[in-house]
A and B are shown apart, each in its own frame.
Chain A
Amino acid sequence: MANWTVRGITRAMLPLLVVLAIVEIGSGLVLDTFEAELLRYPSLLILVPVMIGTAGNLGSILAARLSTAFHLGTLSFDPADDDLAGNAVATVALAATVFPMVGVGAWGLAALTGGAALFVGTVVAVSVISGLALAVLAVVVTVAATYAAYRFELDPDDVVIPVVTNVCDVLGVVVLFVVVRLIV
């Protein structure tokens, strides 16, 4: 039963929060590693929060949908499963829709506020390539985490969503780092 005291809520949440904060510091260190590029190109710095946030959102939306299908008993862990395949396709399609706009938006905001040092096509390419790679990774991580919850008989709602959201946050930064190193 839900606990409604400060102590009870803290005891339930704090251990997971501590672990997740440490994981997120890992992604902060990756950012620190390419701080010079981020400070030189404002468009890329503007991309950082939206990359992290959108990656986490793609993962958490997929995780919530798979958890519901799992609770309803309609999910099976077969690549040919309609729920699994359909949600995976939707995740990639959502990334393909949102990330081009994100790239143009980041470049536009940089151009409006002191000048974009990069060509608009470069920023859009960074956003789209990172976004599509992230969508594929989000699918893999979410399906693996949901499957692990199922095997260990945990409620996917409690465990999978925070884990997936934070792992996707970190992957967002790592993928951005790799793509920036490759094409900028």
Chain B
Amino acid sequence: MSVRDVAAQAYREALPALAVSAVGGLFAGLVLGGMRGELREVSGLLVLVPALLATRGNVYGAMGAKLSTALHQGLVEPKAIPDDRRVYAAVSAAMLNGVAISVFAAGVAYAVLVALGRPRASLVALAAIALVAGVLSGIALTVTVVAVAFAGYRRGLNPDTLVGPVVTTTGDVFGMAALLAAVRLILALGGG
């Protein structure tokens, strides 16, 4: 194939997923835009945003890729209510890693802000926000990724190409919505 053919094919194949995830990203931005009050109130919260969003993609994207491969290999049955211990192991590991990394990121963010002498909320408040946001977005993403991969596979679609765009789109939206809910909860409980 010539350069032009390769470029045209790559463009056509990638544009729909990229456009859909851009729309998801704008909605995530809308949530972030609506959080200006909380961002002012909880110093250092903005430092956590990229790490929390990226963790969603890294952890649940990997879980989706693993489940897709297992579906292709016939290791896992695409049942509506999964009853395979492999599915539960993959889901539990993703939740555990996702929540642990979120709290770890809060700790690193706090330490760096202290080292740089920048304003920051308390370590407990940042860690609690990361914990609650990690749990909420983890539940939402796990249910979505498993449902989409299994339902897609039953309908003859390739879960490998479904999972990536689904995780990037819903990950940003759920990630930001979970962060908003977590901040409101912690502020209501007297943190920050």
Tell me the minimal C-beta distance from A2 to chain B in angstroms. 7
CB proximity to A under 8 Å, residues B172-192: 172, 176
Taking A38-B46, A46-B30, A94-B14 as contacts, is the C-beta distance between A89 and B7 under 8 angstroms?
yes
Q: Is A178's CB within 8 Å of the partner chain B?
A: no
A83:B105 contact, CB within 8 angstroms:
no
Residue A106 at the B interface, CB < 8 A? Answer: yes
Asked if A5 and B109 sit within 8 Å, CB to CB, the answer is no
Say yes or no: is B149 at the interface (Cβ < 8 Å to chain A): no
Name which of A86, A94, A102, A165 has the most chain B CB atoms within 10 A of its CB. Answer: A86
Secondary structure at chain B's binding surface: helix, strand, loop or mixed? helix
Name the interface size band of chain B.
Answer: 35 or more
Residues of A near B33 (CB, < 8 A) are 42, 45-46, 109-110, 113
How many residues does chain A have at the interface if contact means C-beta atoms less than 8 Å apart?
66
State the CA gap A98–B168 with chains docked (Å).
16
Contact status of A85 and B3, CB under 8 A, knowing A6-B96, A102-B26: yes
Q: For residue B35, which residue of chain A has the nearest CB?
A: A45
Within 8 A of A (CB), among B9-36: 9-11, 14-15, 17-19, 21-26, 28-30, 32-34, 36
A105 CA / B113 CA spacing, docked (Å): 33
Is A28 within 8 A of B47, CB to CB? yes
Contact with B along A127-138 (1 / 0, CB 8 A): 000000000000
A182 at the interface (CB under 8 A from B): no
Residues of A within 8 A of B8 (CB): 90
Top 7 A-B pairs ranked by shortest CB distance? Answer: A86-B6, A50-B25, A46-B29, A28-B47, A90-B10, A9-B93, A24-B51
Contacts of A155 in B (CB 8 A): none
